[in-house]
Structure 1
C-alpha cells in the first residue's frame, strides 16, 4: 500500500496514469427510481429541453444547461445532490457538480 504524507492510502485516491482522483460521491449512491422523463419546471414555463438529466441521489429528472433551463443544476444548488446522469438509453455519462467533471 502506498501512503501519502497524511498516512492515507494514496492508491485509492489517485487515478491511473495521471487521471483525476476517483469521485467518492459515486461510492455513496444507492439505486433510486427515476421520475417521469420530463422537466416539470420547463413544462410549467412553457419551455422545451434538449437533454434530460437524472439526479442519482433522489431520481429527480430535469433539463441540462444546454438550452438555458439548467433546472438539473438548480436542483443540485437546492439539495447538494452531487451526481447526475444523462437520461438516455445506454448512456453511461455522469457528472459530478462538486468536482465539475464527468465521472
Structure 2
C-alpha cells in the first residue's frame, strides 16, 4: 500500500447530486453514512450500509476519491491506493439531509 496518493489531481470541487444516497432515495432504502465522489458529486451510501452505493459507483466509474459527507467527517479516501487522504477543502451540504440508521 502506498504512503501517498497519486489521485489528488482527480479531486474537484463538486456539487452533491442529491440530499442523500441517490440510489437509496430512488428505491426507498436506508443508509448509515454518506460518501461524496470528489470527481463528479455522486452521493452514495457507505460500506456499512446494505447497498454500498459509493463503492459500486467507484467500480462503475473508476472515480478514485470520496469524501466522508454525512455527517461531515473531514476526510477523504482513495479507493485505488486504499488510504485516507487530506482533502484541500470540505464540500458544504446542500440543504438538510434525512437521517437514516
Q: TM-score, normalised by structure 2?
A: 0.73
> Is it true that 1:38 corresponds to 2:17 in the alignment?
no
Of residues 78, 81, 84 in structure 2, which corresponds to 1:99? 81
Partner of 2:53: 71
Deviation at 1:68, TM superposition (A): 1.7
Contact 2:65 2:76 survives alignment (8 Å): yes
Q: Secondary structure at the match of 1:91?
A: coil
Deviation at 1:47, TM superposition (A): 1.1
Runs of at least 5 residues in structure 1 that lack an aligned partner in the other structure: 1-19
Instruction: Specify the structure having the higher radius of gyration (Cα).
Output: 1
Runs of at least 5 residues in structure 2 that lack an aligned partner in the other structure: 86-101
Could you say which structure has the higher helix fraction? 1
> Is it true that 1:29 corresponds to 2:5 in the alignment?
no
Deviation at 1:23, TM superposition (A): 0.4
More moved, 37-46 vs 53-62 = 37-46
Paired residues, number:
84
RMSD: 1.6
